[in-house]
Amino acid sequence: MAAKGQAKWEGDLKGGKGTFSAGEGITGEYSFKSRFEDGPGANPEQLIAAAHASCLSMALSNVLAENGHNPTSVEVTASVQLRLLDDGPSITSIALDVVGVVPGLEEEHFLKHAEEAKAGCPVSKALAGVPEITMTAKLG
């Protein structure tokens, strides 16, 4: 099954506006200001961050369960950095912050499983061209 998203932009770059949708009930508006000037609305990098966080939380929950450690929860925050480079705007880094509640698991094993999940997460693989992807992982 293919996952789909849709977006429509109206107008020029700085004065225009856009709308997007993905899945059921995920909709939003975006603009030049929401992307480059911290204005109201969403932006594509936030959607990438949410996708990466969602994928990694599921992947890590699966890795933990496969290794006999059923998690109570896995929470991931992803921060995607967009920078203006000489060749235009680029995603230059993604920072992943992972907190898991996993009864009976030691911190060092949690970190090992988190690294395994990060390597196997389909969104991590799709974002492999990002120059820097870091992760901190701890039990909460």
**Domain residue limits at 28:** 5-36
What is the model's pTM?
A: 0.93
Each residue's pLDDT, cut to its tens digit, for the chain (140 residues) gives: 889 999 999 999 999 999 999 988 899 999 999 999 989 999 999 999 999 999 999 999 999 999 999 999 999 999 999 999 999 999 999 999 999 999 999 999 999 999 999 999 999 999 999 999 999 999 99
Label each residue of 33-52 as H, E or C.
HHHHCCCCCECHHHHHHHHH
- Are residues 97 and 52 part of one domain? yes
Domain tally, the chain: 2
- Are residues 31 and 49 part of one domain? no
Continuous H helices in 6-120: 32-36, 44-66, 107-120
- Are residues 86 and 127 part of one domain? yes
- Are residues 71 and 32 part of one domain? no
As a whole number of angstroms, the distance between CA 99 and CA 14 comes to 38
- Are residues 115 and 68 part of one domain? yes
The CB density around residue 4, as the number of other CB atoms within 10 Å, is 8
CB 98 within 8 A of CB 136: yes
